[in-house]
Structure 1
């Protein structure tokens, strides 16, 4: 039993010779590992399950420290899996996979022209989003490797801790980087993702989770009727290759103003003819980076499901699934254009080349820390 659950257990004194015991019915549990197939090179992949008494179930696999399923009841108690994914490892290795549910890095998002200079040395990375580097590379980025995993008990609930050691020079990045990603589920429906990293040589680090959410259930139509709020007064404008210009601009008076709950489809057509082809923007979150605070709130009016995102990061990328193209996912369901959104808590894109952005450089003796909490409910 997790401490989060144990804190809700109350034992009374004897009352008339009877002991009264009140226990929260929503104690979170973890099970696994169970086999989930093998990668194309024969490496075994395992999967773990987190669940609580409220009907919330999260499934996690060791390839990419990936969230493969997230089952959530709606306002009537009907349960649906609200994240995109595949039924097999082969699906995640295919071209149909667009970073579904994975841990992304070493550096999530884009680095201009795949280059940066650190301590006087220039580093060159893979160009996998012409003309830029995207999400850590091509062959050994964090989403494509198989992580070690074990179950853990924390003050936030029972969970799974994934660990990976990226050697010096992997995907062109300097330094031997040790990374941990811990998923926990509480009886308050908090799916908490805690990241840590340390290095033996200065290196850029910017990790995130790349889940695609459709609160009506994966495989449903578009998310254009979902309502979204983002706790940001500013965003980072980009050039035609989606690299930030270095400016911080106000969202007021633009289609990017989500300071109040707004239908996602209300103004998206104003962005169709831009480089983003819809929403694919980094927002500068209000409040103090390093402290857990509200980042975004997403609601599906029909099911009543609500996803609240809190984070310690300075930014969040809102992506409206502009490149989903009807690929086949779990249970044979198709994922059409704009049938899910990503809400990626992060440092800003190309920060390694923007000295005025919050730094992504991790040095020896320092500890990278990042917390993202997805809270799930229905009303």
Structure 2
């Protein structure tokens, strides 16, 4: 693993749309540290020890704010106001059709042209191990109904990073949040030898444009069966229509737990370093994405210390509601009413085996 690159807080200080950005470092007593920027409320870096206690960089990222802004748009970001895709950028709520920005081909993705990944959050330090980041979306912004006031708190507790998020609205709307870190527990190269286990006996297949068909399909007998441990690269190029559609894994997995309950999502192990990542959340699904479109080409896909983000060089496990949920009545609801509070939690625990 490459030696961790020192981060200069001054390199993350600028002004975007009249709002200042900075670097926030969370420290705890578990040997893990986390660096964040207000731009996109995103994870910049996570250092976690290997089995010998040596700290290493376990998420992809950049070493200055300009590279962040010019780089992979979703890398490390907190995604809102609706994570993932909405078909044709359209949904109907209470008999009214809403047309959203089409910023992902024919579809809407990750909140639109000025979704949260392109916005500067207001930040409040809550101590050495926590920071709260807030963002308000205007009524009608990107085509969504309702003013939505949201916040995410990053909290480092020992070896666990928790993302605790919430939102309220003044008008009936839809909401879906997630975290979009690209993990590589080896720090470089591909994630094909990482070993993955997922608490998911079903997934939502898509059409050729990554929009769910509405089917909830058992993973048994498919390359999506990670109910027992498998190398990520073991079946990533299988002769399977869904694998071809995603150029590998890029699908929503249906997590086995009661609705709204906080529970296990996935475990990832990197055999050489011994590093282990356990993902838990309160969400019913998790997008499994194997970094199929990373290229290793500068400037977008070269990160700290000149390390390239090669194809399949990062693994995203994005707990969330299902993609295109507003257009599929059989999917868990994403509707938020005035007077209610949308709440969710994602937790990443780092360990060794």
TM-score normalised by the shorter chain: which range applies?
A: over 0.9
Q: What CA distance in whole angstroms lies between the structure 1 residues aligned with 2:186 and 2:275? A: 8
Shift of 1:225: 0.3
Per-residue CA distance 1:46-100 (angstroms, 9 max, x = gap): 1211112332110111111111010001001111111111112211221x31411
Tell me the residue number matched to 1:344. 318
1:40 positional shift: 5.4
Unpaired runs of 5+ in structure 1? 1-32
1:331 paired residue among 284, 305, 315: 305
1:160-171 aligned within 5 A: 160-171=131-142
Counterpart contact for 2:11–2:64, Cα < 8 Å:
no
Q: Is 1:64 equivalent to 2:47 in the alignment?
A: no
Determine if the alignment matches structure 1 residue 264 to structure 2 residue 232. yes
Deviation for aligned residue 1:234: 0.5
Structure 1 SS opposite 2:116: coil
Residue deviations 1:276-313, cap 9 Å, x none? 00000101100112111110000100000000001110
Q: Give the deviation of 1:34 after TM superposition.
A: 6.9
Deviation at 1:158, TM superposition (A): 3.6
Is the CA contact (8 Å cut-off) linking 1:229 and 1:261 kept in structure 2?
A: yes
**Distance of 1:39 and 1:86 partners within structure 2:** 18
Structure 2: distance between partners of 1:271 and 1:335: 26
Identify the residue that residue 247 of structure 2 maps to in structure 1. Answer: 277
Say whether 1:355 aligns with 2:323: no
Q: Which residue of 2 aligns with 1:86?
A: 62
- What TM-score does the superposition give when structure 2 sets the normalisation length? 0.93
Number of equivalent positions: 340
* CA distance, structure 2, for counterparts of residue 169 and residue 278 of structure 1: 35
SS at match of 1:348: coil
Counterpart residue number, 1:18: none
Q: CA deviation at 1:348?
A: 0.4
Give the Cα separation in 2 of the matches to 1:83 and 1:260. 24
Cα-Cα RMSD:
1.7
Task: Give the secondary-structure state (helix, strand or coil) at the position aligned to 1:92.
Answer: helix
What is residue 135 of structure 1 aligned with on the other side?
110
Provide the rounded CA distance (Å) in 1 between the counterparts of 2:239 and 2:172.
Answer: 38
Q: What's the secondary structure of 2:91's corresponding residue?
A: strand
Quote the Cα distance in structure 2 between the aligned partners of 1:40 and 1:158.
Answer: 26
Instruction: Kindly state the Cα deviation for residue 41 of structure 1 after the two structures are TM-superposed.
Output: 4.5
Q: How big is the shift at 1:366?
A: 0.7
| Runs of 4+ residues over 3 Å off in structure 1 | 39-43
The answer to whether the Cα contact below 8 Å between 2:88 and 2:102 also exists between their aligned partners in 1 is yes
Deviation at 1:120, TM superposition (A): 2.0
Cα offset, 1:39, TM superposition: 4.4
Q: SS of the counterpart of 1:85?
A: coil
- 2:218 and 2:17 mapped to 1: Cα distance? 48
| 1:173 matched to 2:139 | no
Work out whether residues 40 and 90 of structure 1, in 8 Å CA contact, stay in contact via their aligned partners in 2: no
Kindly report which structure 2 residues correspond to 1:194-213, keeping only aligned pairs within 5 A, or say none: 194-213=164-183
Aligned to 2:211: 243
